[in-house]
Amino acid sequence: MKKTLTLFFAIFSIAFSTNAQSFTDDFESYTAGSLLAQSSTTWATWSGAGGGGADDAPVTNTLAHSGSNSLFLSSTVAAGGPDDIVLPFGSVFSNGSFEFECWMNVQTGKLAYFNYQASTTVGQIWSMDIFFEANGDLKFQNSGALMMQTTYPQGQWFLFKMMANLNNSSWNIFIDGAAAGAFQNPVFNVASINFYPIQNSAFYIDDVSFNYTPYTLPNLNAAVMNLNIQDGLASQSRFPTVTIRNLGTTAINAFDLTTNYNGSANTQSFTGVNYASGSVNTVSLTQSITLTGGIIDANLIVSNVNGNLNDDDINDDTALVTVTAVVPAPGKLVVGEEATGTWCQWCPRGAVFMDMMAEKYAGFFAGVAVHNNDPMEDSAYDASIGDFIGGYPSALVDRLPEIDPSELEQSFLSRIVIAPKVFLTNGATYNAATRQLKVSIKADWQSAVAGANFKLACVLSEDSVHGTGSGWSQSNAYAGGGSGVMGGFELLPSTVPASQMNYNHVGRFIFPSWDGAAAYSGAINAGDIVTNNFTFYLPSGWNENQIHIIGMVIENTNIIDNASHTSIDEAVANGFIPGTDLGGIGTEISMINSSNGISMYPNPATDQTFINLNLKSNTAVTLSVYNITGSLLQVKNYGNLNGAAILPVNSSLLAQGVYLIEINLNGNKQVLKLVKE
């Protein structure tokens, strides 16, 4: 969400020193066709080869804003690049005022991209990323998190300008001289700009310049860098955090912080601290605020610094943010399904944002991590979500079109306000000895619908899943911090050992299928209550204390209308309600030797798969094969079996897709999912 800062540059500039630095280049001093970094004493390339390498870019006279020359950057390989041009600032700018501007021309239907580096050595810390999208959107991100979004004109020259107060890392954006927005960046250092044509990029830059004026530290100055109050939902409580920077020469040992939000003011005193000159310190307030629906200003004032009513620079003692809270639709819960895998080096991003959503929107958000090609994969769930994504990591919110996991919150906020047609309540009984979980999902219909077009699916997810051996270690592209901060993964190695990993929201089962069961036949009227039951047998390796039950009602448009989300204990406390039995999945412990149970291999299958049984006693066994809509395709009665048995299933005649293998043991039905390739 965009947050608007109030430290204005006109006021702030009075404390700047006169030791300014500036740079400008209109590319007219170069010969068209010459390589920029090779020809310049300032420009460089990402590789640091001194110019002339594969990542150097030629000056062009094809199109220019002024004069004859400009720089054209385009991606000529699938992954982006090879052009990779860097404009070093000569040092790290960490306080004072900084301005950058250039004229840009992004070709119609193409993209542009550049980033700020926070260290003089490129590739260590990204300060921010700026994306000029092919649809005209302009996004400012830090470590994948959106800080601000606006628009820009495509297919024409426009003036792009950024003005920063680096004392509190507040940035203002201008397009063709008009204010386009403001944001606060958590990284306040800038050392260079990197122009890199990502995939499908084609853009010109001309008349590039920057100006920097450092700040002269007074004797005593506590500067408010950041007031952070998380946006959210009306009625949620938030504990503000504040970043205080000592921009004086004297150590800070005491101060007061006063927050004002929605007509209420709270003051908290901090004593016994020792903030050295230049240090950046984050403090958490112990007095919460309750969010109110709408966009409401909140401000913060630092005062009484070291016992003085005012410090030596009052211009940076105040911060103002806008806090956005939306009013959720009654009874609405949003589902986020993330496509992930331990082999996927960028998938830690999905884990971080899924955990953030679960914590920030507890009771309003249900997350499912659908694993691919690792020990946590549920083959049917994985195969189904694979039809809706283009790569990893990806996410679906209420089964709307694919997004990046970093966009979960924006999509969630657009869905949580939509009134659902049905309210869902989970009930359950659980037998710890047999590990039988019986689930009831009560649907309390708020609107009339054509019931045959609405379906019900039940998902079991598990938190804190871990293991040893192949496939349990997490690949990690964020190692070393070169790709930014990512929830602590930047501090972990490129392959995080299994012993350090706990995986949350793991999708264990989806039953009966991705599309759900036709649980609501006939016309449904407002006020109708329909209850359906599922029976699961939890494998011995699962922790029932970490299992969550998620019910999903899926519309005829394949969008999730509403959902339910509880732990087993919460569902048991709600009480089990008998209803229409929709089946289940798992292993009946009382009939099966727990050391072997029921297994199916291979899965996915092509011509044939086999069901392995290890029965404790004589058991009447029938095997049936159903398609995903519930139509019976094959059935075989094996009579009474005892001990180990292998039951073949002919899959050669089945079309590609997901099938249900029902195993009837003395009238107790267990269901396995088969994926036919």
CB-based contacts of 311: which residues, under 8 Å, 6+ apart? Answer: 218, 220, 221, 222, 248, 302, 305, 317
Cβ atoms of 620 and 640 within 8 Å: the answer is yes
Q: Which residue has the tokens 């058991």?
A: 619
- How does DSSP assign 121-169, residue by residue? STTS-EEEEEEE-TTSEEEEEETTEEEEEEE--SSS-EEEEEEEETTTT
Q: Where are the alpha helices (DSSP H) in 201-315?
A: none
pLDDT at position 472: 96
Distance CA 47, CA 28 (A): 25
The total of other beta-carbon atoms located within 10 Å of residue 199's CB is: 12
Phi-psi region of 243 (alpha: psi -120 to 50; beta: other; left: phi over 0): beta
DSSP state string for 502-570: -B-SEEEEEES-TT-B--S-SEE-TT-EEEEEEEEE--TTS-GGGEEEEEEEE-TTS-EEEEEEEEHHH
Mean pLDDT of 183-205: 93
Interval 168-194 mean pLDDT: 93
Token digits of residue 269: 């005193």
The residue among 416, 413, 367 whose CA lies nearest residue 393 is 367
Instruction: Summarize pLDDT for 394-420 with one digit per residue, the tens.
Output: 999 999 999 999 999 999 999 999 999
Low-confidence winner among 415-419, 554-558, 581-585, 665-669 (lowest mean pLDDT): 665-669
Q: Which residue has the tokens 């542009």?
A: 112
CB 668 within 8 A of CB 590: no
pLDDT tens digit string along 663-672? 888 777 777 8
For residues 307 and 269, what is the distance between their CA atoms, to the nearest angstrom? 11
**pLDDT at residue 319, as a whole number:** 87
CA distance 476 to 98: 34
pLDDT of residue 603: 83
Taking residue 632's Cβ as centre, other Cβ atoms within 10 Å add up to: 10
What residue ranges define each of the domains in the chain, with the CATH number in brackets?
A: 9-213 (2.60.120.200), 222-326 (2.60.40.10), 328-419+466-501 (3.40.30.10), 587-676 (2.60.40.1930)
Looking at residue 3, its pLDDT comes to: 33
Percent of the chain topping pLDDT 70: 94
DSSP labels, 199-233? TTBEEEEEEEEEEEE-B---SS-EEEEEEE---EE
Task: Report the chain's C-alpha Rg in angstroms.
Answer: 30
Q: Are strands 529-537 and 580-586 parallel, antiparallel or unpaired?
A: parallel
Estimate the crossing angle of helix 408-415 against helix 348-360, to 10 degrees.
40
Number of helical H runs and strand E runs in the chain: 6, 45
Letter for the amino acid at 195?
A: F
* pLDDT over 70 at 590, yes or no: no
The Cα–Cα gap between 372 and 395 comes to 13
- Summarised one tens digit per residue, pLDDT across range 600-628 is 888 888 888 989 888 888 888 999 888 86
* pLDDT over 90 percentage in the chain: 71
In sequence order, what are the residues at sequence separation of 6 or more whose Cβ sits closer than 8 angstroms to the Cβ of residue 623?
A: 611, 634, 635, 636, 638, 647, 649, 661, 662, 663, 664
> What mean pLDDT is predicted for residues 541-551?
96
Q: Contact at 8 Å (CB) between 392 and 475?
A: no
The predicted model gives 20-33 an average pLDDT of 95
Q: At 78, is the secondary structure helix, strand, or coil?
A: coil
Indicate the helix (H) or strand (E) that contains 367: strand 365-371
Mean pLDDT of the chain: 90
Which tens digits make up the pLDDT trace of 108-132?
Answer: 999 999 999 999 999 888 999 999 9
| Average pLDDT of the segment spanning 351-376 | 96
- Evaluate whether 644 touches 613 at the Cβ level (below 8 Å): yes
Residue 124 has a pLDDT of: 87
Tokens of 647: 């039951």
- Specify the 3-state DSSP secondary structure of 182: strand
Name which of 236, 352, 399, 333 is nearest 565 in CA terms. 333
In which band, very low, low, confident or very high, does the pLDDT at 630 lie, cut at 50, 70 and 90? low
What is the residue whose two structure tokens read 């005593």? Answer: 220
In whole angstroms, give the CA distance from residue 555 to residue 102: 49
As a whole number of angstroms, the distance between CA 453 and CA 515 comes to 11
CB atoms within 10 A of CB 505: 25
